[in-house]
Amino acid sequence: MSTTEHLGDLLRELAPQVLGVLLRRYGGFEECEDAVQEALLAAATQWPGQWPDGGVPDSPRAWLVTVASRRLVDQVRSEQARRRREVTAAVREAPDADLAPAPGEEGPGGRDDTLALLFLCCHPALTPASQVALTLRAVGGLTTAEVARAFLVPEATMAPRISRAKQRIKAVGASFEMPGAQERAERLDALLHVLYLIFNEGYTAGSGPDLHRGDLTTEAIRLTRTVHRSLPEDGEVAGLLALMLLTDARRAARTGPDGALVPLAEQDRNRWDAALIEEGSALVTGAMSVSPLGPYQLQAAIAALHVQARRAEETDWEQIRLLYAILGRIAPNPMVTLNHAVAVAMTRGPQAGLELLESLDGDPRIARHHRLHAVRAHLQELAGEYAAARENYRLAARRTTSLPEQRYLRDRAERLER
């Protein structure tokens, strides 16, 4: 890892901790988050010069808290102070001498508030899109421009979305604290869903020239590890982390040298990450043995069955079919039905899988989704219905905005035509 990458990882890890310190001291999410972003920028530009060869201050978090606090005070004392009344009141109560924390940020500042911050960013008053954007910005330490690039939209589009999310949190009076036991369970579902969305967008980018976005999958895994450290006994947290690790273990084999998509059955399994597979398998096995069964654990168990097969022909499709049947009962979802249909086709024959797909044709959530057409084409190909498969491959290619997926689907159609 290069010095620049190491510094970037450190700053992303520290960003939510510093933001937590400021929120507890001063309140005002938007103002504190802006100050933290300025401190991160200052660190990225100043540390390499002051501490060369990859060095950092003795207490990097204390350095960031001090700089961010001073930036916050400067904002309050500026002409913009009238628009930051909450922060102004807090700063008037805190003498400037208290802004610089002691080395190591002992006492109140020594806490890691990342989990509380994640709960705040995933407040139910926000839309899922706003929760994702705010999480990446405030907890992931990404700039607005980086968040915009992650979702392939202009910065001018993303900036107002993030700003509206901050204003919404302020308007509903959301507080920076861990929710109570009952509310925490509800909020945790939303939090895990946000991390799941971030990972999925990175693993199979919804649009653009690349099949996956490593920056998003890496960030999703890092944040989920943080939640798992805080809630080690929660089976669904462990299940989600296991699912991410087991899925990401296949990343290197999912594309060829030219960037073309390589389907699971054709991947070079020697390129899969054995360490991630081992860690993910241990996590899901441990979670399922002591925790109530949940959808993330089930998905992780399915992923484990895929990666533990030495060859595609050795995949335990019957066990996968049973797990999807259970998943469909406890967490019904059109994507679950879609994957269940594949498992049914592999165990009961392609026609049985195609019959299950018919139940999705009237579901507006997926009826026009390219994956429904792609799966139908695959099962029709297995059934020898080549003309119908060819047309569905072409239809799926027209409906996806991912260029690698388009190329793969068109290639499948051309193969059938030949």
Q: Does a structural domain hold residue 338?
A: yes
Say how far apart CA 367 and CA 402 lie, in whole Å.
18
Say how far apart CA 267 and CA 270 lie, in whole Å.
9
DSSP of 182-236: HHHHHHHHHHHHHHHHHHHHHHS-SEES-S--HHHHHHHHHHHHHHHHH-TT-HH
In which band, very low, low, confident or very high, does the pLDDT at 187 lie, cut at 50, 70 and 90? Answer: confident
In which domain, by residue range, is 83 found? 1-105
In which band, very low, low, confident or very high, does the pLDDT at 3 lie, cut at 50, 70 and 90? Answer: low
Q: Does a structural domain hold residue 418?
A: yes
Say how far apart CA 247 and CA 300 lie, in whole Å.
8
Final residue in a domain of this structure, among 105, 127, 147: 105
Output the pLDDT for position 349.
97
Output the pLDDT for position 2.
67
Output the pLDDT for position 335.
94
Q: What percent of the chain has pLDDT over 70?
A: 88
Say how far apart CA 274 and CA 279 lie, in whole Å.
9
Cα distances (angstroms) measured from residue 10 to each of 15, 157, 222: 9, 28, 12
In which band, very low, low, confident or very high, does the pLDDT at 201 lie, cut at 50, 70 and 90? Answer: confident
Q: Is the pLDDT confidence value at 88 over 60?
A: no
Which residue is associated with the tokens 């979670």? Answer: 287
> Could you tell me which residues are beta bridge partners of residue 402?
208
Question: Which of 7-11, 24-28, 39-43, 277-281 ranks highest by mean pLDDT?
Answer: 277-281
Q: Does a structural domain hold residue 352?
A: yes
pLDDT, tens only, 386-412: 999 999 999 999 999 889 999 999 999
In which band, very low, low, confident or very high, does the pLDDT at 78 lie, cut at 50, 70 and 90? Answer: low
Final residue in a domain of this structure, among 105, 131, 163: 105
Q: Does a structural domain hold residue 242?
A: no
Final residue in a domain of this structure, among 105, 140, 174: 105
pLDDT, tens only, 344-383: 999 999 999 999 999 999 999 899 999 999 999 999 999 9
Q: Does a structural domain hold residue 139?
A: no
pLDDT, tens only, 308-324: 999 999 999 999 999 99
Q: Is the pLDDT confidence value at 102 over 60?
A: no
Task: Assign residue 355 the CATH number of its domain.
Answer: 1.25.40
CA dihedral 300, 302, 308, 310 (to 10 degrees): -150
Q: Is the pLDDT confidence value at 276 over 50?
A: yes
Is the distance from CB of 25 to CB of 90 less than 8 angstroms?
yes
Q: Does a structural domain hold residue 222?
A: no
How many distinct structural domains can be found in the chain?
A: 2
Q: Does a structural domain hold residue 10?
A: yes
> Could you tell me which residues are beta bridge partners of residue 255?
261
Q: Does a structural domain hold residue 192?
A: no
Q: Is the whole-model pTM more than 0.85?
A: no
Question: Which of 29-33, 122-126, 388-392 ranks highest by mean pLDDT?
Answer: 388-392
